[in-house]
A = this chain, B = another copy of it.
Amino acid sequence: MNADRVGIVGVGHTSFGRHAESSVQELAFDALRVALADAGLTRDDLDATVIAAVPEYHRQRSIAGVVQEYLGLAGRPTWLTEAACASGSAAVRTAWLAIRSGEHDVVAVIGCQKMTDLPTADILGLMGRVGDVQWEAGFGTTFPGYYAMFAQRYAHEYGDVRPSLTAVAVKNHENGALNPHAMFKKAVDAAKVEASDEVASPLRVFDCCANADGAACVILAREDRARALPARPVWIAGLGAASDTMSVLTRENLTSLPAARRAAREAYAMAGLGPTDVQVAEVHDCFTIAEILAYEDLGFCEPGAGARLAVDGATRRGGRIPVNPDGGLKAKGHPIGATGVSMTHEIVKQLRGEAGPRQVQGARVGLTHNVGGIGQYCFVQVLMVED
């Protein structure tokens, strides 16, 4: 049987940051425990788990198995889904497919990642090789380098981009200061952002997200099961998935991610909604320029108008379209496998009206935008609650 709708019935989250004392399975457990309690479910209710993680950061191989054992779920199906930094949303999508297919009724998606055990240089190398190894990474490209090129090109096309990058950093730190799970719970002012060290021109330290450890969990259920639970279900109204070339040098331009445009188009079409219906969004701000591009790719504004949107404050809480109310990757931290799941977690909290001091008032429709690599993958979710 095909359940037409899939609801999110429980969410959980660890703090993001450095968890030197915790293994990846312990982080996964902490997120699942909260999500089960939130949903009013026990482990026995789970038909399967989908693990989102990027494997090469962990010494333990094939972590779905060790997580499944530690959660006390050995026996039931589990598998790992990987799509670089979009692994979390890719995993949510496979769980959604599993429920829509009629095969499972209740599935937990756990994004979990440890990164800070590794030296930063190793991480930079691993990350760089998410760029095309044959044609690009072999020549020394790094993630900050790629996104710096995007920012340079954006400035070339549309004029000075620096004020908008600063506006994104300031906004996301302001939001992160209100998020108990955020790695950096500290507001910063424009002067501090612009005085920070340059990483890859024009990107500075405060334009870049941080490697982190952490886990997030969302539990999905088919409609009838979701309606029978105490919490108000958040429905997956639309879901888009797309890919792009591995090599950035083959792209038509550097001021848009075609995978994001395609995934957004699909998600909006499935939901029967458009960008103007979105009241709160979590977007993939691995670098501040990425958030500007996301505004445009998601249709929150026209191409070239993203910088203005940031500077005008339209994406702050209380603005026309609040973006990254939880602080985004920038202030929350970016444990790569967990990030997509964390985005869904935040939108669920917002749509339920449970986001506390960072609540976007009255939001009923929310969106997540999770990018893998340098736009090689993008997944967009449109989530909503009933009136």
Contact = CB atoms under 8 A, between A and B. Distances in A.
Interface in A125-159: 126-127, 129-130, 132-134, 137
Contact of A82 (B74, B79, B100, B137): B79
Interface stretch (A27-35, A237-245, A313-321): A237-245
Contact of A74 (B77, B129, B243): B243
Interface residues on A, range: 35 or more
A246 interface: yes
Contacts of A62: 54, 82-84, 130, 372-373, 376
A69 B126 CA distance: 20
A245 B97 contact: no
Interface string A70-106: 0001111111111110000010011011101111000
Contacts of A69: 132, 244-247, 250
Contact of A61 (B90, B129, B262): B129
Given A2-B102, A61-B56, A62-B82, A243 B97 contact: no
Nearest to A48: B241
A275 interface: no
Contacts of A372: 62, 65
A55 interface: yes
A37 interface: no
A76 B242 contact: yes
Interface centre among A83, A100, A101, A262 (most CB of B within 10 A): A101
Given A55-B56, A78-B243, A97-B97, 15 more contacts: A2-B2, A48-B241, A54-B61, A59-B129, A60-B133, A61-B129, A64-B243, A65-B244, A69-B246, A74-B243, A75-B258, A76-B242, A78-B377, A80-B81, A97-B103
